[in-house]
Structure 1
C-alpha cells in the first residue's frame, strides 16, 4: 500500500508534489507546536528555585502580582528581600509571610522608585551584600491612571513611567547581576505586558507600552548574554490580571487573580526568555495573531477611547 501511495504521488505533476510536501510539513509543524504547548503548559515541572540561591529579591511586593510572587517564593522556602516604597505595607506583607511561613528570613528595603533612584539602589546593594540572591523578580512598575493621548501625558507621569519602568528595572538588575555572575547561577524575571508584545499597538497607552517593549528586548538580550553563565533571564508577558493598576476588581477565566497568575508564573521561571504563564492568555495571544493588525488596532483604539472617557468623567466629578 505504501509503494502504491508513493507511486501515485510520483505520478502527480511537480506542483502537486510540492503542495503535498509543504502541506505535510505544515501539519507536522502545527502538531508539534500543539504538543509542545500542552507539555510546557500542563506537564513540564517547575524548577527547584533554591538551586539558584537561598534568597529572592522582589520589587513592588506590597500589592498585586509582586505580593503574590513574594508569598509563592516563601512557599518554596526562599528567604526574601522585599523592596518597596511604603514601610507600613512592607511590614504588613513581611508579617503576613512570616505568620504563614515562619522559617523564612525577610529583609525589607524602603525605596521610592519615583524618587532618588541612586540612593535607592545604594540601599539595595547594602541590603544584599553577602546574600546569595538566586532569584530576582523585577515587578515594580506603573501605568497611566487611565487611557490618554500622548499629548495629554503630563511631565510628571512621563518621568515616572520612564524612571520606574525602565530605569528602575535596569538598575536593580545591574545591582543584583554581579553576584549571580560570581556564583554562576541565578534567575531573573522581568514583568512585561501584553500591551507591548501580544497586541500590535496599544493606543492611548503609548509610553507605558514602549517601556514594556524595552523590558522585553532588555530581557532577551540578557538571556543571550548570560545563558552560558548559568543565569536564566526571562520576560513574563501577562495580559489582563485583576490588579489595581489594571483597574480590574474581579478575576475570571481570562483574567486571573494575582495569586492565580503567580502560581502559574512560578512554573515557568528559568525556562523560555519570553513566556505567557497563564495558559488562557496564551490562547488569546494565538487568537490575536490570527487576526489582521488593522482590525486589532481599530478594536483597541475604540476600547481605549471608552476607558479614557470614563476616566475623564471621574476626574470631572472629583473637581466638582
Structure 2
C-alpha cells in the first residue's frame, strides 16, 4: 500500500501550480494578441494620428508603423528639418499616406511662442478624423545628478515638456475624439516609475513619468467615460 502524500507536499504543489498559472496568463494573452488578425485602426479609431517627438527612436518607429497600417499623420516636433526628413521618408515608403507637420517646442508651453504653436496645432487637426494620439516627446537630461548639481532651468524644462506639454497637447486633441465618440491616447511612460521606486539621481524625471502614469490616465479615462 503506497504511503500517503504529506500535506505539506500537496500544499507546495498547489502553490506552485497557482504560481505557474499566474505566470502563464500574460504569456497566453500576448500569444493571443500575436495570433489574432490585425485591427483596422482607421475603422476603430480614425484615419489620422498625432505623434509628438516622431523624429527619432520610439516616436519614429511608431510613426512608421502607423503609416504602414494606413494611418495618416500629424507630426509634432521642435526641429523643422527633422520633421521634414521623417515626412519625406514616410512619403517615399507609403505614398498613399498624408502627413502634416507642426513645429512645436513643448518646453515653451505657457509662453507667447508656445501659445502660437498650440494654435497652429489646433488649426491643423481641425476637421481631421484624429483617432490616435501618441504622447511620446519627453526630456530625460540632464541625467544622473543631485538636484544641487543640476541646472535648475533644465529640470524646469523637463517638467514643462514631460508634464505641461503632454497635458496641453492632449487637451487640444481630446475634444475631437469625444465629439466623434472614439479614439485612443497612448502616453509613453517609464519603467523608472514602477521598477525602481524614486529612481535615485533621476528623481525629477521619474516624478514626471509617474505623473503621466497616474494622473493623466485617470483624467483621460473619466473624460471619455
Q: Structure 1: which 5+ residue stretches go unaligned?
A: 1-7, 229-320
Q: Is the 8 A contact 1:144 1:205 kept in 2?
A: no
2:107 aligns to what SS in structure 1?
coil
Q: How far did residue 33 of structure 1 move?
A: 2.3
Q: TM-score, normalising length from structure 2?
A: 0.86
Q: If the length of structure 1 is used for normalisation, what is the TM-score?
A: 0.62
**How many angstroms does 1:226 deviate by?**
4.8
Tell me the distance in 2 between the aligned counterparts of 1:136 and 1:28.
Answer: 41
- Assess if the C-alpha contact under 8 Å between 2:142 and 2:154 holds in 1: no
Find the partner of 2:103 among 104, 110, 122: 110
Matched, 1:133 2:130: yes
**C-alpha separation between the residues in 2 aligned to 1:20 and 1:219?**
46
Structure 2 spans left out of the alignment, 5+ residues: none
Q: Distance in 2 between matches of 1:33 and 1:78?
A: 36
SS of 1:114's equivalent in the other structure is helix
The answer for the alignment partner of 1:101 in structure 2 is: 94
Tell me the matched-pair count: 216
Offset at 1:34? Answer: 2.4
The 5 Å alignment of 1:33-44 reads 33-44=22-33
Worse-matched range after superposition: 129-138 or 33-42 = 33-42
Q: Deviations over 1:208-254 (max 9, x none)?
A: 111001000034314642564xxxxxxxxxxxxxxxxxxxxxxxxxx
Partners of 1:48 and 1:164 in 2: CA distance: 31
Name the structure 2 match of 1:66. Answer: 59
Q: Deviations over 1:105-149 (max 9, x none)?
A: 111011111123333222211110001111100001111233111
CA 130–190 in structure 1, closer or farther in 2 if over 3 Å, else same: same
